[in-house]
Amino acid sequence: MANEETGRPQRRSKAKADAPAEPPPPVRSAQARPDAPQETNVESPTISVVGIGASAGGIEALGRFFDAMPADSGCAFV
């Protein structure tokens, strides 16, 4: 349909496009489903992350340090 004054096509109203959409239905959590596995309170092992820095002269000291550290110390070295 054309505008009578300008002869240009009339723009459609954006009212419907700008109107908020209907909210989606609520999402049920896994615990709400009877067939979902139940959580257990299992403690995971604690790992300490240790940052070590050394200059070029410290490489030998780092080697001695790691030679003295047990392999199962529970630490991650970066």
Joined tokens for residue 38? 């139940």
**Per-residue model confidence (pLDDT) at position 26:** 72
As a whole number of angstroms, the distance between CA 64 and CA 51 comes to 16
The secondary structure of 13-72 as a DSSP string is: P-HHHHSPPPPPPPPPPGGGSTTSPPP---PPPP-EEE-----GGGHHHHHHHHHHS-TT
- Residue 5: helix, strand or coil by DSSP? coil
pTM for the model stands at 0.41
- What are the tens digits of pLDDT across the range 26-71? 766 555 566 666 666 677 778 899 999 998 889 999 999 999 999 8
Joined tokens for residue 65? 């340090």
- What are the tens digits of pLDDT across the range 1-19? 566 666 776 666 555 556 6
**Per-residue model confidence (pLDDT) at position 34:** 65
